[in-house]
Chains A and B, each alone.
Chain A
Amino acid sequence: MSFEPRIIGILCNWCSYTGADLAGTSRMKYPPNVRVVRVMCSGRVDPTFVLKAIAEGADGVLIAGCHPGDCHYINGNIKTLRRYPLLKKMLSQFGIEDERIRLEWVSASEGDRFAGIVKEMTETIKKLGPSRFSRKNEREVAL
């Protein structure tokens, strides 16, 4: 059986979740590998969420929010914009590949863009293979 990545998509309520909804209602096709979690704002995405997802076995994490300037809460997405590069830098020290974590801006009208991002991300992670953190039990044993 081929490897099917598990991707956690954390989407903001106002733009990206609505954008994903549009992709669905417009019957666009995209891989079913993304599990969506709705948050009120991409600024709500505590780096803990991303680490928890990886620790629990996610092969990738997609964070999506409103385009800069469009945030429902004025600057919540700017906070995410600042956290994201530092989070990636820290995760690289853990040996987590850059492509596994992605921050994208998806507006409520960009259903096609959302579908495209999920498709592209699923393909990239398929090539990378499973995250080593998803084989937790195996790692626990090997002292």
Chain B
Amino acid sequence: MSKPKLAIYWAASCGGCDVSILDIHEHILDVDKNFELVLWPVAADFKYKDIEIMQDQEIFLTLFNGSIRNSENEHIAKLLRKKSKVLVAFGSCAHLGGIIGLANLYKKEDILDTVYNKSISTHNPDKIIPKTTVQVKEGELTLPKFYNYLRSLDQVVDVDYYIPGCPPNPEQVVSIVKHVIEKKPLPPKGSVLGAGEKSQCEECKRKKNIKKIREIKRIATSIPDPETCLLEQGFLCIGPATRSGCGVACVNAGVPCRGCYGPPPNVMDQGAKMLSAIASVIDSESPDEINKIIEQIIDPVGTFYRFSLPTSLLRRSDI
């Protein structure tokens, strides 16, 4: 019997998710033994053409990482949806929009201007900005269209499962691969795999007392106490508004949670919940003093929606 086919794709992503698949170490051999790899652009040379000529649903499993920023991302997302039986949004970008989703606060023109003209490491005296088509001596060259805003995978195509994390925890990847190899029954559609049903705080072992914040601290300028809750100490830890399942890895390493697992189940908007949690524990009843403490939170959207802006209630700024 032929092996089930596996595709791994990256859309708008950094490649960290692909590395997290390699981080499963020797288990990668089990993957190779049990699957026929048909697409993995970051690791091997396959052509889109070969996918296009496949039967519908011929690929058993597609792990799709990255979000949808341009027309190529969208085209391949639709193609892989059609050709795959099970499509998994793999990692924060595909699941929630990801850290690059914060670009939804800016206009497309401003993003291109910053990247191609204004950034200090750019040398572009002719002010060349990518275009979708350009005529050269040999003929016409084309590039994918850069969209006005970014979307998560499920805002473009139907998604079967989600694997959260930036990047997903390799141990969780192993357990999911094993699950498929052992042919165990698949969970209900729409499940978030390899993650818990509670918030990070439920699994966090730090000592928790009554929370009262008078000052917002940053990890770059203050050293946190290793035993006590980071939020209590004034560090902006997004744990209360983040789904459990990563083993509280960052907090255990002394770094506040950044929220990459996304909101816990039944939470509509991660940022709003986090805002509520932080603001409620400010230790003051005077509006002036409250304002002074809040001023120290420099970038509320970037902090509370670090990975989930495109899938939040507002999705993007007024662009």
Contacts and interface: CB of A to CB of B under 8 A. Distances in A.
B273 interface: yes
Interface string A16-35: 00000000000000000000
Contact of A89 (B276, B297, B315): B297
Interface string A41-52: 000001110111
Interface residues of A, number: 27
Interface of A: 46-48, 50-52, 54-55, 68, 78-79, 81-83, 85-87, 89-90, 93-96, 132-133, 142-143
A47 B318 contact: no
Contact of B275 (A52, A78, A86, A94): A86
A142 B14 CA distance: 26
B314 A55 contact: yes
B297 A94 contact: no
Interface stretch (B29-37, B164-172, B283-291): B283-291
Contact of B317 (A50, A68, A85, A95): A95
Given A48-B313, A51-B314, A83 B301 contact: no
For the complex of A and B, list the 5 residue pairs with the smallest distance between their C-beta atoms, beginning with the closest.
A95-B318, A90-B300, A83-B279, A47-B272, A48-B272
B228 interface: no
B203 to A, nearest CB: 24
A46 B148 CA distance: 30
Nearest to B282: A82
Interface in B114-134: none
B3 to A, nearest CB: 38
A78 B290 CA distance: 11
Interface of B, secondary structure class, is: mixed
B153 to A, nearest CB: 15
B57 interface: no
A2 to B, nearest CB: 23
B156 to A, nearest CB: 10
A92 B276 CA distance: 17
Of listed B268, B282, B313, residue having the most chain A CB within 10 A: B313
B314 A133 contact: yes
Given A81-B287, A90-B304, A143 B148 contact: yes
B276 A47 contact: yes
B148 A142 contact: yes
